[in-house]
Amino acid sequence: MITTKKQNALEYLVSSEISVPHAFTTRLGGVSTGCFASLNLTVGRGDTMENVEENIRILSRGVGFDPERIVLTRQIHSDIVRVVTDADCLGLCHQVYPQCDGLVTNTHGLAIMVFTADCTPLLFWDPVTGAVGAAHAGWRGTASDIAGKTVRTMEKAFGCRPENIRAAIGPNIGFCHFETGADVPQAMLEAFGAGVEPFIRPAGEKYYVDLKEINRFALNRAGVSSVDVSTDCTMCSTSRFWSHRATLGMRGAQGAVIQCKEVRP
């Protein structure tokens, strides 16, 4: 089950399936102003680095990770997943990091974070090895099976078994609002076959696509059976989440963060 936590003005979502510090953020509880109000976690659209750094520090205090030990993504809608350690910490500006859309680590105490504003955030935790992962799945990343690739990277890098991994899918643009042309459903069907047809709904010359359920399908296909899914749609709740479509790009970004913790017998 995915539920909401509140600490003063800070508000974020957590999964009952994941027992290490983690969060799917909302836009609430930070110091940014204007169209970035208030917990914007990225630069590049006009917010200041000072605001972003303070927002990450506010989030770190609430969730319980060290802001000096975090690795971020510079996302390009790819299926690139990086294995990272403390040596990959480059500060709180995501734009200085190598391009990728997924991170995995088994370094105790290290946090990793991806960013969204309609796309699908994914978090992963293996309670056996302690390894964690985070992925940003836009429709291109979804069709490239970044969900399954993150699982396979955890298998290869850390010896994780997919049946042990617990995954959570956070708020994104829902089935109710993700209207596309024919290219998006075609890409999903080419990637996953007829099994994803229930998650594609024709609407005249357009289609509606359920990215949450397609990512759940991809995770199940990769061997992950424990998948917690948020019911929130970013475009339905623009006072709580940023939506790229709803704001025509005048927006900040949510984060999905998770910290690796030592496994205790």
User: Residue ranges per domain, the chain?
Assistant: 2-259
Q: Is the pLDDT of residue 78 over 90?
A: yes
pLDDT of residue 263: 79
Average pLDDT of 11-23?
A: 98
Q: Is the pLDDT of residue 116 over 90?
A: yes
Q: Is the pLDDT of residue 170 over 90?
A: yes
Burial 196-225 (b: 16+ CB within 10 A, else e): beebbeeeeeebbbbbbbbbbbbbbbbebe
Average pLDDT of 70-83?
A: 98
CA distance 208 to 128: 38
What's the whole-model pTM score?
A: 0.98
Joined together, the tokens standing for residue 76 give 């390009």
Angle ∠(188,242,136) on CA atoms, nearest 5: 40
CA distance 216 to 261: 25
Average pLDDT of 105-127?
A: 98
pLDDT of residue 265: 63
pLDDT of residue 102: 98
Give the confidence band of 262 by pLDDT, cuts at 50, 70, 90. Answer: confident
Q: What is the pLDDT of residues 41-59, one digit of tens each?
A: 999 999 999 999 999 999 9
| Runs of H (alpha helix) within 12-97 | 49-63
Residue type for position 142: T
Second-level CATH architecture of 2-259: 4-Layer Sandwich (3.60)
DSSP-derived pairing of the beta strands 226-229 and 254-259: unpaired
